[in-house]
Chains A and B, each alone.
Chain A
């Protein structure tokens, strides 16, 4: 990146107070501090305060799209507000070189009883357009919003998608140097979302910089050059969008607290151990060895092996009898081995589920759900989503 730096975030911190009453009182104190010319620099937190953003440093260059990723409450929106100049940092320095516009909460400033047409003028004025700019772009805005005749109806009659379309149309018809985008593009229908993203890439082509806030790793991978992963106000990782989003994704899956899972054992059979590779590449062979101990011989056992993802979607389910395998579980220890020649799953964290029944499927001796975890890795450049990763043959 040799383009000039447009946004320079240097060791920025921001603290908030969770208690409402205390926060109001601190507010009065802070206003007082401002008025006697004292800095808002916070060395030690006051009672009830916490760091919403802590020592964050990064730069955004011209023509670059940088993603901010993190879970809800990680501090992404706070950071965006700091960059936008809506709130003041408690430490550090933010330098903005160039004009800036924000696509945050589209349609802010709309009045519900006024028509879409009237609201375009208002929203335009709020965003800082001159009368001439609005007049020149008016038809373009109306066209892009695809509202048709609805443009003359009060906006309170609009669906949320229509509202977002109008808001986006007003906001995007301008060329600032820096565009701040909050998770707003998920609204509206697919057709409109695609046009929004296209508009944003046009903006980028024209030399603009974008800061995109999202918790969707896919959006980061497809839109951004670089990404910053923030957790609890602290930067976890800065780097190439692919690397950061992948790491974020895996960390999210690993953080899954359902370890231990759900386990039921009737008593006849004890599952002593499960051995399998805990990390493998997509498409690798996958063998699960189940070591069990039975107090007596199990009559016509049925074993179900399943693999589910972290959203508890069952991806694979194999029943021993269905596969034509006659299982035998004698008294004492035995080992059952299940081998998948290839496990073509997409990158992520998965669980092995296991159900052992006697004679009938619903006569269960052992049920283990989400008790065993493994991880599938792929090349970081792999931006495919979905559930399975197959390697098709491409041809023209």
Chain B
């Protein structure tokens, strides 16, 4: 919306869509992204500190949810309610890795809308680079994920499973998961801010969607489910993380790269949608 003229200090607000001035829009997006890093970090620290300050067990809660979810699947498997075979590693480790990866994606998906909701009062009153909200959400997702990695390492040690040297490439698919999650997250912001239905849907479909990727059970040999899972862009990402950690890489690098680049491009598009829709959302926050 702000159309900057010659001097850096002049800002113009008109009813025109910023998409009519793409060059200027791009430079503003870049400027705001840079300007928002510090703020994003502050907000992330704020939310993180605030989240655990009122607790007795503190950061323990950060590792609690993957343990609980993993525990659930381990019990299901051990009691033969479901039976998962040929995971290559002990099932608890398999389920834990799958759960943590799923949570990385799911939290990234949830983060933008969640940040928007937490900071709605600020949005209606102060003009700050709104990219900070997305970055802050991302930072929190990454911090949470890093804490959970400690558990994964302990489980690796417990089962005496050696981690392969290829693990150094793991950040690549991890970043892919983050990008896909954030991409959907930012695109959902305009709809989610206006209609609460979106948040309800995200919550409702969390578990079913989790089963559409090889999170707690490997790809079935055939059938409709297998086809859907193969089409899921998360599948190659999750599979490659597992294979880089403790197996042989069978996922096509070309496919991985294509998904990765597509995610990046779509993420830029999502950012554009997020940014352009913001003033319209802000006026409906408390009007």
Contacts and interface: CB of A to CB of B under 8 A. Distances in A.
Contacts of A122: 42-43, 46
Interface in B248-280: 273, 276-277, 279-280
A164 to B, nearest CB: 14
B167 interface: no
Contacts of A275: none
Interface in B27-52: 35, 38-39, 42-43, 46-47, 49-50
A98 B9 contact: yes
Given A24-B194, A34-B19, A102-B127, A89 B277 contact: no
A24 B1 CA distance: 20
B54 interface: yes
A148 interface: no
Contacts of B20: 37
Given A37-B20, A102-B126, A111-B46, A95 B11 contact: yes
B17 A87 contact: no
A348 interface: no
Interface stretch (B86-94, B116-124, B170-178, B201-209): B116-124
B125 to A, nearest CB: 5
A100 B2 CA distance: 13
Contacts of B190: 27-28, 31
Instruction: Give the interface size bracket for A toward B.
Output: 35 or more
Nearest to B18: A34
Contact of B50 (A16, A31, A113, A126): A113
A86 B122 CA distance: 10
Nearest to B283: A87
A93 B13 contact: yes
Contact of A16 (B2, B276, B283): B283
Given A34-B277, A41-B15, A85 B127 contact: yes
Contacts of A93: 12-14
B128 A126 contact: yes
A114 B284 CA distance: 29
A35 B50 contact: no
A102 B122 CA distance: 12
A327 interface: no
A135 to B, nearest CB: 13
A96 B14 CA distance: 12
A40 B186 CA distance: 22
B10 A97 contact: yes
Given A16-B287, A93-B13, A102-B127, A35 B194 contact: no
Contacts of A374: none
Interface string A73-111: 000000001101111111111111111101011001101
Instruction: Give the interface size bracket for B toward A.
Output: 35 or more
B63 interface: no
A34 B15 contact: no
A23 interface: yes
B11 A126 contact: no
B141 to A, nearest CB: 19
Contacts of A121: 42
B143 interface: no
B43 A28 contact: no
Contact of B195 (A24, A84, A102): A24
A34 B279 CA distance: 10
A105 B125 contact: yes
A31 B125 contact: no
Given A34-B280, A40-B15, A104-B126, A96 B10 contact: yes
A108 B122 CA distance: 5
A202 interface: no
Interface string B45-78: 0110110011000000000000000000000000
Nearest to A104: B125
A130 interface: yes
A131 to B, nearest CB: 7
B145 interface: no
Given A39-B16, A40-B15, A97-B9, A85 B1 contact: yes
B156 interface: no
B127 A86 contact: yes
Given A27-B281, A35-B19, A96 B38 contact: no
A128 interface: yes
A388 B11 CA distance: 48
A70 B96 CA distance: 61
A148 B227 CA distance: 65
B284 A27 contact: yes
Interface string A187-225: 000000000000000000000000000000000000000
Contacts of A27: 190, 194, 280-281, 284
Contacts of A39: 14-17
B44 to A, nearest CB: 11
Contact of B9 (A16, A99, A114): A99
A118 interface: yes
B32 to A, nearest CB: 11
A118 B42 CA distance: 10
A335 to B, nearest CB: 57
A127 interface: yes
A39 to B, nearest CB: 5
A224 to B, nearest CB: 22
A354 to B, nearest CB: 47
A126 B283 CA distance: 19
Contacts of B7: 97
8 contacts: A24-B284, A27-B284, A39-B16, A88-B1, A109-B119, A109-B122, A114-B46, A125-B42
Nearest 3 interchain pairs by C-beta:
A125-B42, A40-B15, A87-B283
Interface of B: 1-2, 7, 9-20, 35, 38-39, 42-43, 46-47, 49-50, 53-54, 119, 121-128, 190-191, 194-195, 273, 276-277, 279-284, 287
Given A93-B13, A113-B54, A118-B46, 11 more contacts: A27-B284, A36-B17, A87-B283, A88-B15, A88-B279, A92-B15, A93-B12, A98-B9, A100-B127, A104-B125, A125-B43
